[in-house]
Homo-oligomer: A and B are copies of this chain.
Amino acid sequence: MTEPTTSDRDVRFLADWEDHTKFGAVEGSIGVERQAASQADGEQRKWFAELLETNGFSVHRDAIGNQFGLLELMPGAPYVLTGSHMDSQPTAGRFDGAYGVMASAHACIRVAAELRAHPERARFNLAVVNWFNEEGSRFKPSMMGSSVFTGKLDLETALATTDPHGISVRAALDDITERGNFSGLDVASYAEIHVQQGRSMEDDGITIGLVNATWAAHKFEFKITGEQAHSGSTLMADRRDALLGAARLVVAARDLVNEFDDGLLHTACGEINVYPNSPVVVASEVQLLFDLRSPSSEVLRDAYDSVMRTVEKVQREDRVEIEIVAEHSWAQNPYPEVGVELARVVAEELNLTHDRVMTVAGHDSTNMKDVAPTVMLFVPSVDGISHNLNEFTRDEDLIAGLHHLTGVVQRLAEGALAS
């Protein structure tokens, strides 16, 4: 019996990768819709569990629906955990999250084969994870599964969270039979690979991104309160239009960017909910999500001050009330330097172009890095298209990333970054 060559293994990865894309595939596109605990998510999880079991993993689910595949090399030892998420935004790309999970499974398979051939080098066991609800489109907040796993979010609070149709996380997970009782995984270290959600790596001709920090951010949930009125007959001066107030904030968010140098501030309003949202009624209440992100804490502070001035002005001039219902913020959030350096060494050895990059988006590794030594990696995405059916990464980059992640996981399993 001959061991499969690297090239055979890469072909097998690409075949499994191709297979995975059928779950939630959106007709007429290369993208998917696989929101957390949807039927498509459930079907993909069953398929993934079978793939893992076929390759010798034992599969488990925890109480918030995180799906784990364990490969035991050293009975009783802690685990090198690697993974990402398979849920998606509505009508989104096939790579976001899913690439990291699939590459992690294949990296574990390769490292296990290597360490079983050289058992004296193994120090830890291997585990792959498919985190529940990273996207947060159906159930808020995002990164739910890794937040519960790391103790940052209460399990019961998460399970009781409902989607816009009133279906709870608990009920949705039970519906796809993905709520389990696995617990107590002892994590030695964590690695994650993801497609970049931006185009700097492609612009710079970089194959491996060594993620060294997350941008600072400030996120608001505003409630704008006006007064219901007939939208035809009510005198303009008598109106208190909550949708108008919200629209002024959306416009201000975009215009605010121009006050800073290029690339120093990203702003967004992605979600708005309007009541009563009827053709002839002035809106009385609007919920608006409003995000500021920057690599610079100073820029973020100035932007925050500007938003507060706008809020004050809109309240006064448009006679609406604007309340901050929720807000959360984080400073520029570094990944551990030892992880970045490990990833650099592996990239050098594999002769892959690489550079340090920051991530604007959050990832499950943002949670994991606070509880375990963590390595976060990127591969390029064509034109940086993200949260879009047309998201695309070339096969050669997928394979390069798989090779790199395999190298990182192997070093972690051999004890790199171990305390």
Interface of A is mostly: loop
Closest B residue to A358 by beta carbon equals B233
> Is A243 at the interface (CB under 8 A from chain B)?
yes
Interface size class of A (residues with CB under 8 A): 35 or more
Copies in the complex: 2
Using known A-B contacts A231-B387, A232-B360, A235-B263, determine if residue A272 contacts B270 with beta carbons closer than 8 Å.
no
Closest B residue to A219 by beta carbon equals B279
Interface string of A209-233 (1 = CB under 8 A from B): 0000001010000000001111111
A140 to B89, CA, bound (A): 30
User: Which residues from chain B contact A267 at a C-beta distance below 8 Å?
Assistant: 236
Interface-forming stretch among A38-46, A176-184, A250-258, A403-411?
A250-258
A278 x B243 contact (CB < 8 A) = no
A281 to B271, CA, bound (A): 8
B280 x A89 contact (CB < 8 A) = yes
From B234, B263, B268, B279, contact of A386 by CB (8 A) = B234
Closest B residue to A269 by beta carbon equals B243
B235 x A199 contact (CB < 8 A) = yes
Closest B residue to A289 by beta carbon equals B279
A259 to B254, CA, bound (A): 25
Interface string of A279-305 (1 = CB under 8 A from B): 111111000010101000000000000
**How far, in Å, is A198 (CB) from chain B's closest CB?**
4
User: Which residues from chain B contact A315 at a C-beta distance below 8 Å?
Assistant: none
Tell me which residues from 236 to 262 in chain A have a Cβ below 8 Å from any Cβ of chain B: 236-238, 241, 243-244, 246-248, 250-251, 254, 257, 262
> Is A171 at the interface (CB under 8 A from chain B)?
no
Using known A-B contacts A231-B291, A232-B360, A361-B233, determine if residue A271 contacts B279 with beta carbons closer than 8 Å.
yes
Using known A-B contacts A89-B281, A234-B197, A360-B232, determine if residue A276 contacts B137 with beta carbons closer than 8 Å.
yes
User: Which residues from chain B contact A78 at a C-beta distance below 8 Å?
Assistant: none
7 closest residue pairs by CB, A with B: A231-B268, A247-B250, A230-B386, A233-B360, A197-B233, A90-B276, A247-B247
